[in-house]
Amino acid sequence: MISKEDIIKRFVGYVTVDTESDPNSDTTPSTAKQWDLANALVEELKAIGMQDVTIDENAYIMATLPSNVDHEVPTIGFISHFDTTPDFTGANVKPQIHHNYNGKDIVLNAKEDIVLSPEYFDDLLQYKGQTIITTDGTTLLGADDKAGITEIISAMEFLIQHPEIKHGNIRVGFTPDEEIGRGAHKFDVETFGADWAYTMDGSQIGELEYENFNAAGAFVTVKGKIVHPGYAKCKMVNSMYIATEYINSLPRLETPEHTEGYEGFFHLYAMTGEVDSTKLEYIIRDHDKGHFEARKEVMQKLANDINSQYGREVITIDIKDQYFNMKEKVEPVMHIVDIAEEAMIQLGIKPLIKAIRGGTDGSQLSYMGLPCPNIFAGGHNFHGRFEYVPVESMIKATEVICKIAELTATKHN
């Protein structure tokens, strides 16, 4: 059995180390403090008996659990990231452990009246009677993705301690800067040497994902002309009005707050403006590649139409692709999803196979030649003060890793 106490101790040890990444930095890792946990993970991997433990100049960690069977088995990998999002502070995390959750409100911070309530977060009720780890209401928790790291290392330790469980070569990888979209950028797929891998970076128990959004970013710049308002007639051009025209011309109901499932969207997430210049920042998302390309064309055509209306270029738009739907790369090797699904079923977990309404390192890695579906790590409400993780979900995720390793060896005997 996976030790509940060991899982808690390991996880709490990780989340109390500040590893917040920084999108404004051009180094890798983007913050020096990520090295604190990275170096500690290297020593821990060595201590539990992993082989070929390495960390490169960019803090990418790799290690091997050698095969314990005498027949050829594909090399599989498990990957997580150790940075936390810059969207909410991850400094001075003070985890709170709630044993035998009673299904009622959890007071995170009485002084600040911060309450984690099942009336608002009804997923909590799934975990009545379980042990839940929360924040103290002033920071995020860091289950994204320190729960994944906890599960991978705990699974490797369990397999080392239980050689009767047969498996092939297993590679593990831990990365910096996933939260700022760079986690896979310097990942050496060839050196990793796995035939396929799984990111342990999903949310609730049972999640198994091999589809994600196609994604792009759009930067819209609107140029105006400023003159003294008292003498502005037929001279001033207010860029903010033109920007408003652009915003209102996009489909209003195709935004995050009006979409779900496979529905794509345009998301205006930042804007700054003065009379002579306004900047809009969008993300474009769609699971369907054709619809994704059409969304980009809509944004460009709208800019062209407004420029024609004004008889000159008042709007420029720069659209850059960010990542693509990994379904295209995983479907030809669907047996890797089937193995994960079977592992969950054998462990009494109901697989929740669904598309990710976001991105994952698994997407970039899949397009780099490493097919990489995503498996639950157990956390909820990522990137904020209401983040929590049930310990039992982390235990189950750890068991899934072990079972995938065992099934892969069995099926290739």
Q: Packing angle between helix 143-161 and helix 4-15, nearest 10 degrees? A: 140
Active-site annotation, residues: 83, 178
Helix, strand or coil, per DSSP, at residue 368: coil
Rounded Cα distance, 93 and 85, in Å: 13
Q: Are 133 and 93 in contact (CB under 8 A)?
A: no
State whether residue 277 is helix, strand or coil: strand
Contact 326, 197 (CB under 8 A): no
Burial class for 167, CB neighbours closer than 10 Å (0-12, 13-18, 19+): buried
Which residue, among 386, 380, 364, 387, has the nearest Cα to 175 in the 3D structure?
Answer: 364
* Strand runs labelled E in 315-361: 315-323, 352-353
Please report the sign of the dihedral spanned by the C-alpha atoms of residue 250, residue 251, residue 254, residue 256.
positive
